[in-house]
Amino acid sequence: MKAIVTGASGGLGLEFAKLLAADGIDLVLVARSADKLESIAADLRARCNVAVETIAQDLGVFDAAARIVERVPSCDILINNAGFASNGPFDSLPPARLREELLLDVVTLTELTRAYVTGMHERGSGRILNVASTAGFVPGPFAAVYYASKAYVLSFSQALAEELRGSGATVTCLAPGATATGFAERAEMKRTLLFKLPMADAASVAKAGYRAMMAGKDLVIPGLSNKMLALSGRLMPRRAVLWISRKLIEQ
């Protein structure tokens, strides 16, 4: 069995890679940091006796997915994990950064799924895990593009899971809340209320996603408070949802 993990040089992606390797699954690890990927690969090869290939590729550019598919034509498991957020007033954020965010969080995720799902469907087996966020359940003033991109990932994953039902191939959506990784620092969100509240640890969030994916579940939201947050986005009046969301993210 072969699994592709995007964003495998740290955070949740590294934890997914460890879980897969521990189950004896060969890996293709993708991120930009070639040196980090190589040292993770060496460690997993030595500890778990699995084959590990690394691909240093920026996934926030046009045709990124095609370049991955050229190197790896087929896989049994695809974990679309790489993603980042931009935080601040929408009209202050550099357009190039927003484009990169959409390419990474939405376009490459969709194109990788499109590239590998056909083989899974034909073989009658395969697992796809798309990492969304509790942000996917609510609009996010001051991180508007990120929240909207995760709403896309959630909607896309659930729709595709339904299309594939009964085929043997499954799509799972993981929707974590705030988790201790490099994410908040990259997004310059460390001073937001959201990241001052207690955070989940990356290993337990990844384990919840991994187990749900292997079991072929449609959706997993780790943690009770995150489940409530997701539910509140659907039950509370929209203005109240927007107010809370703003308070959690505005700096």
Ligand X SMILES: NC(=O)c1ccc[n+]([C@@H]2O[C@H](COP(=O)([O-])OP(=O)(O)OC[C@H]3O[C@@H](n4cnc5c(N)ncnc54)[C@H](OP(=O)(O)O)[C@@H]3O)[C@@H](O)[C@H]2O)c1
Q: Would you name the residues annotated as active-site residues?
A: 146
Cβ pair 131, 81 in contact under 8 A? yes
8 A C-beta contact, residue 222 and residue 170: no
What residues from 181 to 200 belong to the interface with ligand X (CB under 6 A)?
181-183, 186
CB of 3 to ligand X, least distance (A): 15
Distance CA(10)–CA(16), nearest Å, equals: 10
Applying CB under 6 A, among 3, 4, 5, 12 the residue interacting with ligand X is 12
Single residue of 44, 60, 86, 245 touching ligand X by CB under 6 A: 60
In the bound complex, what is the minimum distance in angstroms from residue 54's beta carbon to ligand X?
11
Instruction: Say which residues have a Cβ less than 8 Å from residue 198's Cβ, sequence separation at least 6.
Output: none
**Do the Cβ atoms of 53 and 28 come closer than 8 Å?**
yes
Reduced DSSP (H G I as helix, E B as strand, rest coil) percent helix, strand, coil of the chain, to 5? 55, 15, 30
* Contacts with ligand X, 73-112, as mask; x by CB under 6 A: --------xxxx-------------------x--------
Specify whether the CB–CB gap between 77 and 170 falls below 8 A.
no
178 interacts with ligand X by CB under 6 A:
yes
User: Interface with ligand X includes 9 (CB under 6 A)?
Assistant: yes
x/- binding map, residues 133-172, to ligand X, per CB under 6 A?
x---------------------------------------
Q: How far apart are CA 160 and CA 171, in angstroms?
A: 7
Residue 232 binds to ligand X (criterion: CB under 6 A) = no
Spatial CB neighbours of 114, under 8 Å, sequence gap ≥ 6: 65
Tell me which residue has its CB nearest to ligand X.
11
Which residues in this chain contact ligand X in the complex, by CB under 6 A? Answer: 7-13, 31-33, 36, 58-60, 81-84, 104, 131, 133, 176, 178-179, 181-183, 186
